[in-house]
Amino acid sequence: MTYLTSRAYYKARILLVPLGPSGASLVSTMSDAGLREILVAAPASHPDGVLLHEIDSPADPSIETVSDLAAATDMMVFLGSRLEEIADDFVEVMATAGRNQGTLLAGVLVGIGGWDSEPGSTSMKVLRRELDMLVTVRKADLARDFIEVLKGGTKDAVPGKLFQLPTPGA
């Protein structure tokens, strides 16, 4: 029997949506740590527009419509750590567009703070209502690894060991 273990068979199209400045900082940290083949979306000045860029080239954004972006995405991952920084209206717009396209909606919160503020409490309610799953982790590297798993593994994954990098000299 043959098992499909290489990511050559499937790679999810992931859209990373930073939740405020803490989310943008996490995206930068993950990019520096080697996360690739991920698109990043941020609010644009137009209400139906989204600034879009590859995770490793933030200086070169394009503008897409929310609905077009959702149609070209398998999963949206909302990423942040400070609940009070979240733009609830942007989360609602992105989640509605994704839901209308059948996109899986996930949230990853890293070392969350801001529970005790009114905006933070409201944002948590919005995330719980809008997302299909919500994961909390303590460190950014765990969030990065989780996103790699959702994507289908790293580019250099070894067949049979989907999420492990090749070991030099082995």
Q: Which CATH class is domain 14-151?
A: alpha beta
pTM of the model: 0.85
| pLDDT tens-digit map of 95-120 | 999 999 999 999 999 999 998 999 99
| pLDDT tens-digit map of 21-45 | 999 999 999 999 999 999 999 998 8
| pLDDT tens-digit map of 2-13 | 554 554 556 889
First to last CA, the chain: 26
- Domains of the chain, by residue range, sit at 14-151
| pLDDT tens-digit map of 61-70 | 999 999 999 9
Residue 7 is predicted with a pLDDT of 46
| pLDDT tier, 127 (very low <50, low <70, confident <90, very high otherwise) | very high
Among 83-87, 122-126, 149-153, 163-167, which is the least confidently predicted range?
A: 163-167
